[in-house]
Structure 1
Amino acid sequence: MTQSAGQLVVIATPIGNLGDLSPRAAEWLQKADILACEDTRMTRKLLTLTGLRTAAKFMPYHDHNGKTMRPKLLDALQNGKMVALVSDAGTPLVSDPGYKLVAACHDAGISVTAIPGPSAVLAGLAAAGLPSDRFIFAGFVPHSQKAAKTAFREFANLSVTSIWFDSPRRLGASLQMMHEIFGDRLAVIARELTKLHESYHRDTLALLAEFYQQAAPPKGEIVILVSGMTASDDTFDTAKLTAMLREEMQATSLRDAVQTVSQISGQSRKIIYSLAIDLDKES
């Protein structure tokens, strides 16, 4: 007799010590044979806080051990086991490990379902007061300044609200780069979303950058939300084009710098070339 395959359940868990598990999430956690956890200690703490008891086996599953753990979880699923995938907090797979396991389950014909719940991305969007009909989650701000600027430029001329995760200690620098590239748009710094000390700071990128460059780094997890480009935005004025050219010309030839800035800004190559010549004369 062939044994039927099990099921993978992706479960959103409360963020921090606030919020209760939904009845459906609690039911599936109690049903599960295996809890695949980003951090088993955090998951045990969560279950203790919520008063939930489970006989499930705890197994660590994260970016560093995914290659070795995935076959074991798939084997258990193919042998009829129920596996619940949980993150430290919030919704798994949103800047957390897990998508490769979900993809492998689909490839193997194993049923996958998700139980929605807390998400810093959607919580921030709901309370920010920025356009929410179209938005894009851009992930974590890259660590290096060059990579961060490249990432910001990819979104600079999109007419959608962009949402970013960032480190508190890099927040001031990130906001300054955003101001240089996005222009002086309305933005929101959301801190410790759905937790006890949740807060929102809403202002222009220029004022936010000035504030967080002077203030001590805020505590907790940070979400940055930036409004999209509007028809009235002068996103690529002369000052911004000149700043972009100056940076590009430090790393490459004048010709290549003109080509790059022209592609990014959508401005006339003739205009960009003229600015580049002026910069070259200055240097």
Structure 2
Amino acid sequence: MTGRIVLAATPIGNPDDASARLKDALASSDLVAAEDTRRVRDLATRLGVRIGGTLVAHHDHNEAASAAELVVRARDGATVLVVSDAGMPAVSDPGFRVVEAAVRAGVDVTVLPGPSAALAALALSGLPTDRFCFEGFLPRKPGERTARLASLALEERTMVFFEAPHRLAATLGAMAESLGFDRPAAVSREITKTYEETRRGTLAELAGWAATEEPRGEIVVTVAGREGAAPTVEALVAEVLARVEAGERAKAAVADVAATAGVPSRELYAAVLAARG
């Protein structure tokens, strides 16, 4: 007899956003795997729900071993509920390894949809929503962050990022340097909470605001994609050089950038060699 893995979205701030299905699942699941067991206990209390099954920790530090155990329990017939601290498991939170292991083992996986900080911020941003991509957290090291942003310089879709408050000003400044000081963007914080706020402006304006105000709370940054105008050779060369500086091989970087921009890789490679002296 096979059970199943249930991925459940939890409120990102306001507990009233919890769905009836989430309440039922917390009460009826055989096993509840939580990123932070204290947080899910507190949520259940706020919702007036008693967690009916066994509560276990499933977080970044034990995810590999925990995922295997959760799948075994589901394969043996248990309904295993997976929740993160806020939002949807597996989206910048533990959960992906469980789904990956479940798929390999032929165990059923289902989802209880609900709140999403990324989608909420996208809707609030005032930027195009017809095409977008989720980039999660940028690398913490400046060189790696610059390389990642350089790889996004030609991205035409609206981009959604997560960021910690103490790194926000530096990240917005790096984005302005790599993507353009006049690039439209928005910063949303504390979505659905008492002090919810969304700031809109250019990356340069938002970087200045963040450096002065030092905003707190859960933060999502939304950045407009590149406009359709063809990039200059100088911009393509700069992107390649940034990626090379971060450790990527020049030929691989040239091939990727050229394919994305739709330009001959041989000509771009020659321009890169010339720029390097």
1:220 to 208, 211, 217: 217
Identity %: 38
Q: Residues 61-76 of structure 1 correspond to what in structure 2 (within 5 A)?
A: 61-76=58-73
TM-score (norm 2): 0.86
User: When the two structures are aligned, how many residues end up with a matched partner?
Assistant: 268
Query: Which of 115, 131, 148 is the equivalent residue of 1:118?
Result: 115
SS at match of 2:199: strand
1:72 Cα deviation from its structure 2 partner: 2.6
**Mapped contact 1:262–1:272 kept (Cα < 8 A):** no
Which residues of structure 1 form unaligned runs of 5+?
278-283
Shift of 1:75: 2.5
Does structure 2 conserve the Cα–Cα contact (< 8 Å) formed by 1:244 and 1:261? no
Structure 2: give runs of 5+ residues left out of the alignment.
Answer: none
Q: Structure 1's 250 and 152: CA in aligned 2 closer, same or farther, altered over 3 A?
A: closer
C-alpha change, 1:205 and 1:81, in structure 2 (3 Å) is same
Q: Matches of 2:233 and 2:133 in 1, distance apart?
A: 25
**2:201 corresponds to:** 203
Larger Rg: 1
- 1:38 matches 2:35: yes
**Partner in structure 1 of residue 76 of structure 2:** 79
- Secondary structure at the residue paired with 1:113? strand
TM-score (norm 1): 0.84
SS in 2 for 1:49: helix
Match of 1:96 in 2: 93
Q: Take 1:190 and 1:111, find their aligned partners in 2: how far apart are those partners?
A: 35
Provide the residue aligned with 2:140 in structure 1. 143
**More deviation in 24-33 or 88-97?**
24-33
Structure-2 change in CA distance of 1:167 and 1:131 (3 Å)? same
Matches within 5 A, 1:1-283: 4-183=1-180, 184-213=182-211, 215-232=212-229, 236=232, 264=257, 268-269=267-268, 276-277=276-277
1:200 maps to a residue whose letter is: T
8 Å CA contact 1:7, 1:83 repeated in 2: yes
Query: In terms of mean alpha carbon deviation, does 13-22 or 200-209 score higher?
Result: 13-22
Q: Distance in 2 between matches of 1:251 and 1:38?
A: 33
